[in-house]
């Protein structure tokens, strides 16, 4: 009798267990999807348990962003004598190497008689200018410090429109400040890229120039540069909210490496301006500079450059990049179309000035 009762108890328990399991599968869809059993009111320890934070990204990158104070001596000419006046410019910079190379904007340190760098750990260091590049508005500085924090740098440039980014700098000398926004244009990385920078709505103010634009992992994606400005007949020049720029990381790194290696950035140029033709291959020449290699070679406005050294052209910007990256003194063979006639001309690349 006892054995029969035990068997009946086991059967009832199994049936009840199957019924409860089926009921739970019906009431809790996550179990049917293999996601496990969770109760939100048990998992949340407090109101901030599920918060989103960029704390890790900032802790990786912020120590590498420095405050820069450049001092220049100006002479005010009075009635009886010249009176020297000290002018201080405020900006930011990014520690790119543990050995003390720093990237900033050229306009932050231009014409400076002395430059002081304040590191986030309290070090105050004197900086020397290694070189500058006016086309990208970048400058490379060198400091000697201890335990300098190198900013994390990506292996490849993969910033895309819609990515979340943060700008780190020292606006108005308030101390290190972080703003965030979204990338609305990714920018280009070629050496002919003079204005096509990363565009973002991360807020930049006076003092942010030369600071870091980092992604949500804390990796450097650009060197913050400027606001978009318009001229107002009533108020003069004013900044436009939500449109700010940064030099793409790969371009900034390339400029820095060339300045460190050779003291300047060497760019090739032929002396023409070109654009694309909708629906047709090639680059149409819109203007040719006087006494330029292009003019001396016989290139004319409205010529269509079809290929350079046998490589077909499709993009004006890529064509200018290719020329800029060609060593001065190199001869290029251009295949052009002029009034429907095919011509071949050779032109020697000259050096574009502007770096020091």
3-state secondary structure of 194: coil
Distance CA 188, CA 274 (A): 17
What one-character DSSP code corresponds to residue 210? T
Which of 64, 177, 178, 74 is CA-nearest to residue 117? 64
Distance CA 324, CA 133 (A): 14
- Give the DSSP H/E element, type plus range, for residue 286: strand 280-288
Which of 106, 104, 96 is CA-nearest to residue 133? 106
Give catalytic residues, as residue numbers: 107, 137, 209
Q: Residue 83: beta bridge partners?
A: 76
Which of 74, 8, 27, 68 is CA-nearest to residue 224? 68
3-state secondary structure of 319: helix
Q: Is the CB of residue 121 less than 8 Å from the CB of residue 105?
A: no
Q: Is the CB of residue 245 less than 8 Å from the CB of residue 199?
A: yes
N-terminal to C-terminal alpha carbon distance within the chain? 103
* Residue 333: HSE in the Cβ half-sphere, 13 Å Cα cutoff: 6
Distance CA 325, CA 254 (A): 11
Distance CA 274, CA 321 (A): 12
Torsions phi, psi for 27 (to 5 deg): -85, -25
Torsions phi, psi for 261 (to 5 deg): -75, -45
**Rounded to 10 degrees, what is the CA torsion of 126, 67, 89, 220?**
110
Distance CA 117, CA 141 (A): 10
């Amino acid at each position: 009798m006892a054995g029969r009762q035990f068997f009946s108890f086991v059967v009832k328990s199994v049936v009840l267990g199957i019924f409860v399991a089926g009921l739970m599968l019906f009431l809790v869809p996550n179990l049917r999807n293999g996601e496990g059993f969770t109760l939100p009111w048990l998992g949340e320890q407090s109101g901030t348990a599920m918060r989103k934070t960029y704390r890790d990204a900032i802790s990786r990158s912020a120590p590498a962003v420095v405050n820069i104070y450049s001092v220049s001596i100006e002479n005010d000419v009075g009635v009886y004598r010249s009176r020297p006046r000290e002018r201080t410019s405020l900006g930011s910079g990014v520690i790119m190497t543990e050995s003390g190379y720093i990237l900033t904007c050229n306009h932050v340190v231009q014409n400076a008689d002395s430059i002081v760098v304040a590191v986030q750990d309290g070090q105050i260091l004197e900086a020397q200018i290694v070189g500058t590049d006016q086309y990208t508005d970048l400058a490379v500085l060198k400091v000697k410090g201890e335990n300098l924090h190198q900013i994390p740098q990506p292996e490849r440039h993969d910033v895309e429109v819609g990515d979340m980014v943060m700008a780190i700098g020292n606006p108005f000398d308030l101390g290190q400040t972080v703003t965030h926004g979204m990338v609305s244009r990714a920018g280009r990385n070629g050496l002919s890229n003079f204005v096509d920078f990363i565009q973002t709505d991360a807020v930049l103010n006076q003092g942010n120039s030369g600071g870091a634009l980092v992604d949500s992992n804390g990796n450097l994606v650009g060197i913050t540069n400027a606001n978009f400005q318009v001229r107002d007949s009533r108020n003069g020049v004013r900044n436009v909210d939500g449109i700010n720029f940064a030099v793409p990381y790969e371009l900034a790194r390339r400029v820095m490496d060339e300045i460190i290696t050779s003291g300047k950035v060497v760019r090739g140029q032929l002396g023409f301006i070109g654009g694309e033709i909708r629906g047709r291959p090639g680059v149409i020449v819109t203007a040719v500079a006087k006494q330029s290699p292009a003019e001396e070679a016989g290139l004319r406005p409205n010529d269509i450059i079809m290929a350079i050294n046998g490589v077909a052209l499709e993009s004006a910007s890529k064509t200018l990049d290719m020329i800029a990256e060609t060593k001065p003194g190199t001869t290029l063979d251009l295949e052009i179309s002029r009034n429907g006639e095919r011509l071949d001309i050779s032109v020697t690349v000259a050096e574009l000035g502007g770096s020091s």
